[in-house]
Structure 1
Amino acid sequence: MDLHSDSGAVAVFSARLARALDRCDRADAPQLLFEAIRSIVPFEFVMSVAYRREGPPDHIGDTFDDPTTRRAMDLYLDGTYILNPVYNAYLAGLKAGVYRLRDLAPDNYFSSDHYSRFKVRQYSDEELGYRTWGWPAGREEVVIAIELPEAELGEISLYRLASRGGFSDQDCAVLSAVEPLVGSVFRAIWRHRPRPARNERRISPLDHLLVDFGKGTLSPRECEVAHMILKGHSGDSIARNLGISITTVKTHRQNLYAKLGLATQQELFSLFIRSLQEKDVLAGDRM
């Protein structure tokens, strides 16, 4: 649709968005926000979470209505989110905006054999080459990323059948035009949602693994640097947090890559995933 020419759709969108804002402290607010978005860019289903650097994501809402897909959502929240390009882009500093999911994923990101034991399955017809067990097949995904306080990131992911054309460039342009408004309402909803205190939050698979990752191979300082890289810290952030110079950070990074036989940050993350596999973290039954 064209926001400039379809005044009826704009009126419906505005009314629904206003209702979501008015009810931002109510349980139905996420669904009202989803319906506002649907009025200008139709979709088949939607899911929304909020990511944080420590621990698993918070579930904001979705429109899944069958037990298998509900279970897939649970699996995602329990651990397979660590494979998701949105989560990894967030750790790398993703900004607010509208993104096609395939544009956030590096080439061949999920093609390695070491993903085969997780509760994800490789499928050649998926835009990433994999999906969580039970996730609806053959969909294209467009992501609305929303910056939140406390360095968290909101995700609203819309899905359509890829075989029917997925999302057009105009769809993405419309979503980009309303993203600031959607983001404001999302933040209002997020502020009213109960969230566990930091010391009550569930420990993520990443936190479990980082206790031992690199021990026996890396020095204590190199381990710290590796852990912070895996958590998405930039070189400047590592320097600030550890009280060292950026030059020293670069030296530690070069040394730890050499000791682990790696060349890139992606290879470091792949090694991390293999370590999860070896520890049976998130490993599922073969199907």
Structure 2
Amino acid sequence: MKLKDLEAYRAVLGTGSTQAAADMLGISQSAVSRRISQLEEDLGLQLFVRDRARLVPTRASRHLDRHAQDLLERLFFLNEAADELRQGRGPATVLRIAVPASMSRVILPEIIASFLPLHPEVRFEVMHGPYDAITRMLHARQAEIGLLRLPLAEPGLELSPIVTASSVCVMPVGHPLAELPEVRPYDLRQHDLVLLGWRRAPRRDLDLAFAMAGIKPNVRIETHSVSSACGLVAKGLGVSIVNSLLVRECLDLPIVLRPFRPDIPHRFVLAYSNQPELPEPGRQFATFAAAALERLAASSGEADAPPSN
């Protein structure tokens, strides 16, 4: 299998025709067709079917695409590292970081901005997705470092120091609960709730806290990200209980935070595989980021966001 065949495959996949792919690659249409045929022969799979003037990817083709993309990205980094060595410079360290979307707008940029002046040789590629997708990225070597929630039953991963975030109650600006120094389950008995994580450990702990207080929570909306919950709260659709770390992404919304008691801790780690071994700047970033996240989580417990104008 040749990399130029993979390049032709990706070009056809993106453009839908051999002619457009040829224009993109600067080669002839017949050369593109030969490369696709050779790749299909090497793989023993049909990658495209013709639909009039277009080539439509088969199911097998769609399944293989992410692997082809990963190979081509690695080739790009290999060529770039070789170019830097030819020019007498040390190769840059590229770290692919996978995090939940709920921390990709404010929290991670803040950490990277603090880390880069100390390690100018490092380059970052940021990816995001739910925790199960991040776990798959780590095992598939599509990311070097990923933020995961504990408990974690994943062999083959090394973990940073644990980051512990508390639980906070989120409400719209002007809500009567904002008069309280802290919020307990009894205080929420007559309020609509926007809750996260159905069937996950923190949610089970929250449901248990309501049960022990003899309160049946009025769950108006179920959602699956802190940013979504805070957005719904800001629109006056209910009150939520989230972790004090990821809520920092939402402090520009017209919301107020109060500590929730009893506290339900949320534990996170930065995980990475040592097969292949993580470069030393990667280890330094995992330690640096874990300490930064711990500070951010501790500083959010009683923060109020300014009301909107």
TM-score w.r.t. structure 2 length?
A: 0.27
Structure having the higher Rg: 2
TM-score (norm 1): 0.28
